[in-house]
Amino acid sequence: MYKVKGKEYPCCTSVTMGIIGGKWKSVILIHLIDSPLRYNELRKLIPTVTERTLSLQLKKLEEDGVISRKVYTTKPPLKVEYALTDFGKTLIPILISIAEWGDFVVENYSDKKNN
């Protein structure tokens, strides 16, 4: 067993999947690779995610130290920006590999009737 940030995992793969697994975390992270984004910018880039789910996933990623949340309060309206942390940036090669593998699957194994 491995213990990371108070959570126990049976193997190293489960550590990775515990941090970036699920339907939306990797999608959020792939959008944050190039630059920090505001909440509404993420909503526009991922239109099929609900507001509640996006908020919850952002909180979990922040709790795990993968992203940071910066609040700008100097002038209204309130501005909140999300960015990869240095720890989160270590995931970039993995995220790119996942995206490339997805492209490979779509190109080689997708249902040709839908294309």
Domains in the chain: boundaries: 2-114
Q: What is the pLDDT of residue 77?
A: 80
Backbone phi, psi, residue 79, to 5°: -120, 130
In this prediction, residue 114 carries a pLDDT of 55
Q: How far is CA 43 from CA 16, 61, 95, 109, 114, in A?
A: 25, 16, 20, 29, 27
pTM over 0.85: yes
Dihedral, CA of residue 69, residue 74, residue 76 and residue 79, to nearest 10? -20
Which listed CATH number (3.40.50.620, 1.10.10.10, 1.10.630.10, 3.50.30.40) goes with 2-114? 1.10.10.10
CA distance 19 to 70: 20
Give pLDDT, residue 74. Answer: 83
For the chain (115 residues), the mean pLDDT of every run of 10, in chain order, is 88 93 96 97 97 97 96 85 98 96 94 63
Cβ(58)–Cβ(46) below 8 Å: no
